[in-house]
Amino acid sequence: MTSSLKKSVLIIGGGAVGAIAALNLEVGGLASVTLVLRSNYNAVSEHGFDIKSCDHGSIPAWKPSIVRNSIPDIIKESLPPYDYILLCTKNIPDIPPTVVNLVAPALPRNNTHTTLILLQNGLHIYRPFLETHPQTPVLSGISMIGSEETSPGQIIQDEGDKLLIGAFPNPNIDTPSSAALEFVNIYKNGGKTDCKLSEDVLHDRWRKLVYNACLNPICAILGLDTGRLRLAANGEVTEHLVRPAMQEIVEAAKANGVVLDEGVVQMMIDADPLQSYLSPSMYSDVRKGNFIEHENLLGEPLREGKKAGVKMPTIEVLYHMAKGIQWRTMEKRGMVDIPSKNV
């Protein structure tokens, strides 16, 4: 039985980021977590997560309060609405189901109780919910963490969990920021993480795009981790590909009223220690044959920049190369029709 003092939190997506989020929430003692898993469900339901964390230490066979392999249908199952739903899945609007349809069983369109948190990357990811769930507070979650699921249920976190939570704009709700502040206090209560309130969600998202819209696709396309990318051709690949792409994102942000801090490009180039040889998520997804998050990471900033008159030739090339990679994956999964070869 869940304590009435605890907030009920549904986390959809229990990979490397979702698992650590669930752990932080439960350790803090102010939340009871229901975690929805997919490919790792059998391993975790039987044996729990084995976590090696720079924040939490070594925790074998750990489970949150409830583990499920399907999203709760609160109406059919006669469940009370969750206080928070934390969406930790990849946001891939060009591949069904959409995030709105994914979360629908647990979040009715007339919801006024549940706060939705999008712990996902990219620009404008809240807009579909603004149309379908106008009375639902939607929060932005920007995670800066080094965490990897090396095999089902095996989590290695080697960089501290830093999380920025802020409210996306919603003209239908007076004070969505109060929900953000409450969640920050719940998440950081265990003292194991750095969770702060974001006062400017748009700024924070554009700032992270300097990394995500550039290093993610470049590493994925070239098949290089961030360390090897910096070493490639004695740094020429970084200077002639990475840096121009990042500068285009900075200019697109500025044209949209967001001025990023001076030196942000170099900061993002150096963000990962060279010898950590880190593989960004898009590169990992390509190696695994998964779909990639190119629309919100590349497409949205490209469209916003071009609309404002910013020339973005590097980002545009990266975007269309990423679309080609996505199409290739769709073909492998039988999602596109290929004309027969002429004999």
Helix (H, G, I), strand (E, B) or coil at 8: strand
pLDDT in the model for residue 2: 45
Question: What does the pLDDT look like over 238-284, one tens digit per residue?
Answer: 999 999 999 999 999 999 999 999 999 999 999 999 998 989 999 99
For residue 200, pLDDT over 90 is answered with yes
Q: What is the pTM of this model?
A: 0.93
- Do 29 and 152 belong together in one domain? yes
CATH number of the domain to which 281 belongs = 1.10.1040.10
- Give how far the C-alpha of residue 52 lies from the chain's centroid of Cα atoms, to the nearest Å: 21
Give the pLDDT confidence score for residue 4 in this predicted structure.
59
Total length of the chain: 343
Query: Residue ranges of the alpha helices (H) in the chain?
Result: 16-28, 41-47, 99-103, 127-132, 176-187, 201-212, 215-222, 226-231, 236-237, 243-255, 264-269, 281-288, 294, 300-307, 313-332
Based on the fold, state whether residues 12 and 70 are members of the same structural domain.
yes
Count: domains in the chain: 2
> Is residue 337 assigned to a domain?
no
Does residue 208 surpass a pLDDT of 80? yes
Band (44; pLDDT cuts 50, 70, 90): very high
pLDDT over 60 (residue 189): yes
Contact predicate 320/313, CB 8 Å: no
CB neighbour class for 65 (10 Å; exposed up to 12, middle 13-18, buried from 19): middle
Q: Are strands 84-87 and 138-151 parallel, antiparallel or unpaired?
A: unpaired
Would you say the C-alpha torsion 249, 251, 253, 255 has a positive or negative sign? negative
Place of tokens 């979650």: 141
Residue 178: the pLDDT is 87
Last residue of a domain, one of 199, 227, 252: 199
Helix (H) or strand (E) holding 140: strand 138-151
Query: Could you read off the pLDDT of 289-323 as tens digits, one per residue?
Result: 999 999 999 999 999 999 999 999 999 999 999 99
**What contacts 29, CB < 8 A, 6 or more positions away?**
6, 189, 190
For residues 75 and 97, state if they share a domain.
yes
The residue segments making up the domain with residue 141 are 7-199
Strands 49-53, 57-62: parallel, antiparallel or unpaired by DSSP?
A: antiparallel
Q: End-to-end CA distance of the chain, in Å?
A: 67
As a whole number of angstroms, the distance between CA 296 and CA 306 comes to: 15
